[in-house]
Amino acid sequence: MMSGDPVLPKDDAPVEGEAAALLRVRGLTATFEGHGHRVPALRGIDFEVGRAESVGFVGESGSGKSVTARSVLGLEPEGSTIERTGSVLFNGRELLGLSDKQMQDIRGRQVGMVFQDPMTSLNPVLTIGDQIDDMLRRHRGWSRRAARSRTVELLDLVGIREPAQRANDHPHQFSGGMRQRVLIAVAVSCEPELLIADEPTTALDVTVQAQILRLLIRLREELGMSLMLITHDFGVIAGMVDRVYVMYRGEVVESGSVDAIMHSPREDYTKALIQAVPRIELPEGT
């Protein structure tokens, strides 16, 4: 647990520091539309993420975790349309209803993201150095030379050895775990205030999962970011985040500190999630 971070209670009582929450979501709904069908994916969820706070989102497959993440990022689903209502306040600014161009500017620069599959999220034809340089040049207007120097620092920060040489390699020259480190470097390159990690370790084997989780914890602390960590696995949440929201069928059914939820879950659904998974013990160091 990170002491000193804001701990927001689960009820609706006025909360000290809530006004200062980096992200404040109220009544968020998301409905997929296509082929004459309307599929509700989020049924009005409320949550907040404080500054430099790490918050977990746990729930079974299909409970709405990724739709929640994508709603904050303003990402549209491929092949269908989505209608969203409610409020997504980031730094006091309403994100719902912003144009795609406005959201593109926020994504990467203010909100970074890491997804499950590191291979499809990297461009196979570009070197990884070029891909990180591109973020810094596009979002920060840096010169090629300044960007490359920061890129090498970032690769070092995420634990890539010989970063100056490795920057010239292509994604397929890296292992799965190393590609996920590269993606994390891309995600934090512009020092976003919020990092959203959606199942960032699911595709990796258990030892590598622990290394990547430890890296995320370290970066969150070093860069002072807020973290939204999405997983179906309570073992990942324990020891990683301050608070947790439990999702079921497009709703938040329970929330509170990780300790409280792990030790005395209210909902049978939450108990089942906790019992379903072996706990991952994080080894020291990365």
Positions that interact with ligand ATP (CB under 6 A): 32, 39, 41, 59, 61-67, 77, 80, 232
Tell me the C-alpha distance between 208 and 220, whole Å.
18
Q: Which is nearer to ligand ATP, 64 or 108 (CB)?
A: 64
Candidates 63-71, 103-111, 156-164, 166-174 — which segment interacts with Mg ion by CB under 5 A? 63-71
Place of tokens 């929640």: 68
231 binds Mg ion (CB under 5 A): no
Pairing of strands 37-49, 243-248: unpaired
Q: Which string of x and - marks every residue 12-51 that binds Mg ion (by CB under 5 A)?
A: ----------------------------------------
Distance of closest approach, residue 25 Cβ to ligand ATP, in angstroms: 14
Residue for token pair 């995600």: 187
* Greatest alpha-carbon span in the chain: 55
Residue 68 in contact with Mg ion, rule: CB under 5 A = no
Q: Which is nearer to Mg ion, 135 or 244 (CB)?
A: 244
The least distance separating ligand ATP from the CB of residue 178, rounded to whole angstroms, comes to 23
- Measured distance CA(106)–CA(98) in Å, rounded: 10
Q: Which of 79, 78, 84, 81 is nearest to 98 (CA)?
A: 84
| Cβ at position 249, least distance to ligand ATP in Å | 8
Query: Which C-beta is closer to ligand ATP: that of 77 or that of 239?
Result: 77
Closer to Mg ion at the Cβ: 65 or 214? 65
In whole angstroms, the minimum distance from the beta carbon of 188 to ligand ATP comes to 22
- In angstroms, rounded to a whole number, what is the distance separating the alpha carbons of residues 30 and 65? 12
For residues 266-280, one letter each, b for 16 or more C-beta atoms within 10 angstroms of the residue's C-beta and e for the rest, the string is eeebbeebbeebeeb
Among 31, 66, 121, 255, binds Mg ion (CB under 5 A): 66
- Sheet containing strand 243-248, edge to edge, reads 111-114, 194-198, 226-231, 54-59, 243-248, 251-257
CB of 230: closest distance to ligand ATP in angstroms?
Answer: 7
The number of CA neighbours under 13 Å toward the Cβ of 241 is 32
Take residue 70 and report the two structure tokens written for it.
């994508």
Residue with tokens 């990092």: 195
121 binds Mg ion per the rule CB under 5 A:
no
67's contact among Mg ion, ligand ATP, none, with CB below 5 to 8 A by partner kind, is: ligand ATP
CB of 115 to Mg ion, least distance (A): 9
63 contacts which partner out of ligand ATP, Mg ion, none, CB within 5 to 8 A by kind? ligand ATP
Do residues 271 and 265 touch, judged by C-beta distance below 8 A? yes
Positions in the binding site for Mg ion (CB under 5 A): 65-66
